[in-house]
Amino acid sequence: MKAKLAALPMSYRLAVTSRVLAAVFGGYLVAALASVTLTLWLPLNRAEAVVTGMTVSFLVYLVAVLWCFACRTAWSAWVGLLVPSVILATVSGAARGLGLA
Amino acid sequence: MKEGFRQAMAWLHTWTGLVFGWLLFAIFLTGTLAYFKDEINHWMQPEIPSRPLDAAASLTLAQTYLQQRAPDAPSWQITLPDARDPGISVSWQQAPARPGERGRFTEKILDAQTGAEVPVRKSFGGEFFYRFHFQLQMPYPWGRWLATSAAMVMFIALITGIITHKKIFKDFFTFRPRKGQRSWLDGHNAVGVLVLPFHLMITYSSLVIFMAMVMPASLLVSYGSDRSAFYDEVFPEAPTPERAGIPATLPAMAPLLARASEQLGGGNVARVTVINPGDANASVQVARASSDRITYEYGNDVTFNGVSGQILDATPAKPLPMAIAGSFYGLHIGHFAGPVLRWLYFICGLAGTAMIGTGLVIWLGKRQLKHAKTGVMPFELRLVEVLNIASMAGLIGAVAAFFWANRLLPLSLDGRANWEVNTFFIAWTLSLVHALLRPGRKAWVEQLTLAALLFTTVPLLNALTTAHHLGVTLAQKDWALAGFDLTCLAAGLLLAWAAWKMQRAAHTVRVEKTRRETTRPITLEQGTR
Amino acid sequence: MLLALLLCYVGFTALCLSMPRHHDELLGRKPSSRRVRNLKLAGWLLLCLSLWAAVAAKDWGFGLVDWFAVSMFSALLLVLLMPYRPKLALSLAALSLLAAPVAAWAWW
């Protein structure tokens, strides 16, 4: 961080804020959806599946957060979270539809 | 962010570390202290005498006491003494004021040898540190949310730190003291990498511990609003029979201990709960000691019919996912740890605290260098400096103040336990004010010196205010009490050394400023170009 | 736990010495490539032995915990001793190497 705080352009600050929001909220959403998907699809009884889903979710959150800051632009942070979210939501819905839940 | 993966991770590591560092330092320090919370309790309530352990005798004494004091209580709870917790703790629920309500709980400590009530000074003891480190003295559930969020950020900081550390294997054994900023970074890397298994375990486990609160999506999807069904499945408890309404004296419970131990595969009993004592359907629930296995077990393990002695149920073995989650919990709190392992836990916790602390110092140090020539610090850096001092030296001083309050506050003071805690927070606040008013170096030196003074004199304070001073406790082999005094002394000496080093470094900087800036002295903390 | 600790400490010292920079710092000369290989081998072997000792003493659950605890502690000890008391760091390793068979025999 060589530039002094005052010299940072507004576009940079907006980009960082965007990534942070994506990481915190978007990341949480992906992690939650991943836990739900796991819970619905794992061939375990209800309580065991829930415990497994929750335990693993934080690893997903980690990856999501790292993605938000590693990707090239702030936009790709959001896209990179949206796509898995849609996929996971669909897969969970499918489990429900197939009567697995 | 366009500069590459490693740089992005370094950026993330730097900023997550700074923004949450002060909070995480407090969590780690108080959590580390919590590993010795029983010993801290013992020092802060020295009135409870240590006796040789005899579970059956203790249980009998407790039963006699409760039979006299609370024969009609809906439930009794007895916590048996163990190697780290000398008193028998009995508590009972009083009959509720209105039906359907819960009655008030009363708790007393009994002497493990005589069964008499011990007039013990009111104090939260080590429990304060334990609760603070995950509740942060904030109302439920906000403190836990903040603490768990901090844990997630800690996890990010750890992983990004690993990614950023290019020479993690090459520099595994590298520590070069007396080289200014370089040494701080080496130190940060050393306590980080060498103790990494602990840091990863403690951080991830803290997420697992509160996962049902912070990541409930799968729970809600599977159970809807019926959360209690989930908990019943995860922590199955034997259903206790309803009150029969037929009075019956509860036979002596001591023989049940041996039978429970058998059921538990030779395990130790920690807690006995009696539901509806004095009734024909009284049930006795016996819980295993946490020291028996790694997986932290809630709930009760063997349930007996109190009158007939028949075994009603035993908690079944845990399925794998619950065993894993339980192991995370168990590893985190380390109840199973014997004395040597407990010290190792403590050392690892201190290493984690040091990792965070050195990180905060490095963050500021790197940026302060750019302003060393002008000697004026921009507002942001000054803010970081003040927060560094208050959250580290100030917090350590506040811990000492907490112990001092325990010995100095009058025993009969109303709300004494709360006043000990207030002293802690008042001291911490004063350290913040002090850091605001004094220049950085001086604030560090003064606060470290004060903390050093307070800690080194704890054994003296103890000797002057109680009869349980080192001369007595060492002779009686009361290791908890003696160990506390000695550890405070050692901590005080370490703080004094730190204060002295800070003072010396400040001197060298001042001398350096009068010369032309050409040479590179190695004693400098700051100003190395 | 003691045996595991002793073996860990020697193991880490061996691995440390297998690095030319540290070998030079501690023993005053660079190691030959043969020595590097042998030290690395010895170091890893000792760490594995230490793990075996910990698990044999207390079963997998508690054994693993013990092993991680003593390995972290011994690594910390070594790294903090090296710059301040290098001779002590090395003598501790030598002593541990001698004491290890005694500890093993005593435990058996």
Q: How confident is the model at residue A100 (pLDDT cuts 50, 70, 90)?
A: low
Q: How confident is the model at residue A89 (pLDDT cuts 50, 70, 90)?
A: very high
* pLDDT for residue A17 is more than 80: yes
Mean pLDDT of the residues in chain A: 91
Q: Which residues of A touch B211 (CB under 8 A)?
A: 54-55, 57-58
* pLDDT for residue A3 is more than 60: no
How crowded is residue A8: how many other Cβ atoms within 10 Å of its Cβ? 12
C-beta atoms of B173 and C79 within 8 A = yes
Distance to chain C for B189, nearest Cα, Å: 11
C-beta atoms of B175 and C68 within 8 A = no
Closest CA to B234 of B299, B314, B301: B299
Q: Which chain B residue shows the shortest CA-CA distance from C63? A: B294
Q: Which residue has the higher pLDDT, B312 or B286?
A: B286
C-beta atoms of B152 and A101 within 8 A = no
Q: CB-based contacts of B159: which residues, under 8 Å, 6+ apart?
A: A62, A66
* pLDDT for residue B327 is more than 80: yes
Is the complex ipTM more than 0.90?
yes
Residues of A with CB under 8 A from a CB of B: 1, 4-5, 15, 19, 31-33, 35-36, 38-40, 44-55, 57-58, 61-62, 65-66, 69-70, 72-73, 92, 101
Distance to chain B for C6, nearest Cα, Å: 15
pLDDT in tens, A50-73: 999 999 999 999 999 999 999 999
Domain locations in chain A as residue ranges:
27-97
HSE-up (13 A, CA, CB side) for residue A67 = 24
Q: Which residues of A touch B215 (CB under 8 A)?
A: 31-32, 35, 54, 57-58
C-beta atoms of B341 and C69 within 8 A = yes
Q: Which residues of B touch A40 (CB under 8 A)?
A: 221-222
* pLDDT for residue B527 is more than 50: no
Distance to chain A for B371, nearest Cα, Å: 11
Taking the Cβ of residue B346 and every Cβ of chain C, the question of whether any pair is shorter than 8 Å is answered with: no
Q: How confident is the model at residue B226 (pLDDT cuts 50, 70, 90)?
A: confident
SS3 state of residue B226: coil
Chains C, A in contact, 3 or more Cβ pairs below 8 Å: no
Those chains having 3 or more beta-carbon pairs within 8 angstroms of chain C are: B
Those chains having 3 or more beta-carbon pairs within 8 angstroms of chain B are: A, C
CB B50 within 8 Å of CB B86: yes
Chain Cα centroid distance, residue A34: 8
Taking the Cβ of residue B3 and every Cβ of chain A, the question of whether any pair is shorter than 8 Å is answered with: no
Written as one letter, the residue type at B508 is T
Sign, Cα dihedral of A36, B134, B12, B188 = negative
* pLDDT for residue B507 is more than 50: yes
3-state secondary structure B25-71: HHHHHHHHHHCCHHHHHHHHCCCCCCCCCCHHHHHHHHHHHHHHHCC
Whole-number pLDDT of residue B518 = 44
Q: Which residue has the higher pLDDT, B290 or B72?
A: B72
Taking the Cβ of residue B329 and every Cβ of chain A, the question of whether any pair is shorter than 8 Å is answered with: no
C60: left (phi over 0), alpha (psi -120 to 50) or beta: alpha
pLDDT in tens, C35-70: 999 999 999 999 999 999 999 988 888 999 999 999
Lowest-confidence range among B64-78, B231-245, B434-448, C82-96?
B231-245
Distance to chain A for B271, nearest Cα, Å: 27
Q: How confident is the model at residue B519 (pLDDT cuts 50, 70, 90)?
A: very low
Q: CB-based contacts of A88: which residues, under 8 Å, 6+ apart?
A: A30, A33, A34, A36, A37
Q: Which residues of B touch C19 (CB under 8 A)?
A: 170, 173
pLDDT in tens, B84-98: 888 898 988 877 767
Taking the Cβ of residue B235 and every Cβ of chain A, the question of whether any pair is shorter than 8 Å is answered with: no
CB B335 within 8 Å of CB B290: yes
C-beta atoms of C72 and B293 within 8 A = no
C-beta atoms of A5 and B380 within 8 A = yes
* pLDDT for residue B506 is more than 90: no
Whole-number pLDDT of residue B285 = 84
* pLDDT for residue A1 is more than 50: no
What integer is the mean pLDDT of C4-8? 96
* pLDDT for residue B321 is more than 50: yes
C-beta atoms of A48 and B320 within 8 A = yes
- Find residues 186-205 of chain B whose CB sits inside 8 Å of chain A: 204
Q: Which chain B residue shows the shortest CA-CA distance from C58? A: B293
**Minimal Cβ distance to A61: which of B5, B152, B328:** B152
Sign, Cα dihedral of A19, A25, A31, A33 = negative
Q: Which residues of B touch A51 (CB under 8 A)?
A: 234, 321-322, 325
pLDDT in tens, B235-274: 877 677 777 777 777 888 888 888 888 777 777 888 888 8
C-beta atoms of C1 and B340 within 8 A = yes
Chains B, A in contact, 3 or more Cβ pairs below 8 Å: yes
- Paired tokens of B246: 């037929």
Q: Which chain A residue shows the shortest CA-CA distance from B363? A: A1
Query: What is the C-alpha to C-alpha distance for residues B108 and B117, in angstroms, rounded to an integer?
Result: 7
C-beta atoms of B12 and A38 within 8 A = no
C-beta atoms of B321 and A44 within 8 A = yes
**Minimal Cβ distance to C79: which of B175, B197, B347:** B175
Lowest-confidence range among B252-266, B287-301, B350-364, B491-505?
B287-301
* pLDDT for residue A2 is more than 90: no
Query: What is the C-alpha to C-alpha distance for residues B163 and B178, in angstroms, rounded to an integer?
Result: 27
* pLDDT for residue B520 is more than 60: no
What one-character DSSP code corresponds to residue B217? H
pLDDT in tens, C65-97: 999 999 999 999 999 999 999 999 999 999 999
Lowest-confidence range among B16-30, B56-70, B436-450?
B56-70
Q: Which residue has the higher pLDDT, B271 or A1?
A: B271
pLDDT in tens, B175-219: 999 888 899 999 999 999 999 999 999 999 999 999 999 999 999
C-beta atoms of B198 and C61 within 8 A = no
**Minimal Cβ distance to B344: which of C15, C69, C75:** C69
C-beta atoms of A69 and B221 within 8 A = no
DSSP code per residue over B272-294: EEEESTTBTT-EEEEEE-GGG-S
C-beta atoms of B234 and A51 within 8 A = yes
Taking the Cβ of residue B7 and every Cβ of chain A, the question of whether any pair is shorter than 8 Å is answered with: no
C-beta atoms of C68 and B293 within 8 A = no
Q: Which residues of C touch B344 (CB under 8 A)?
A: 69-70, 72-73
* pLDDT for residue A47 is more than 80: yes
Closest CA to B392 of B24, B17, B131: B24
Query: What is the C-alpha to C-alpha distance for residues C34 and B421, in angstroms, rounded to an integer?
Result: 61
Q: Which chain B residue shows the shortest CA-CA distance from A39? A: B218
Whole-number pLDDT of residue B1 = 43
Q: CB-based contacts of C98: which residues, under 8 Å, 6+ apart?
A: none
Q: Which residue has the higher pLDDT, B233 or B40?
A: B40
What integer is the mean pLDDT of A80-88? 96
For B19-35, letters b (16+ CB in 10 Å) and e give ebbbbbbbbbbbbbbbb
Q: How confident is the model at residue B2 (pLDDT cuts 50, 70, 90)?
A: very low
Q: Beta partners for B273?
A: B77, B285
pLDDT in tens, B328-361: 999 999 988 999 999 999 999 999 999 999 999 9
What one-character DSSP code corresponds to residue B216? -
Q: How confident is the model at residue B54 (pLDDT cuts 50, 70, 90)?
A: confident
Q: CB-based contacts of B270: which residues, under 8 Å, 6+ apart?
A: B79, B80, B82, B287, B288, B289, B290, B291
Whole-number pLDDT of residue B524 = 37
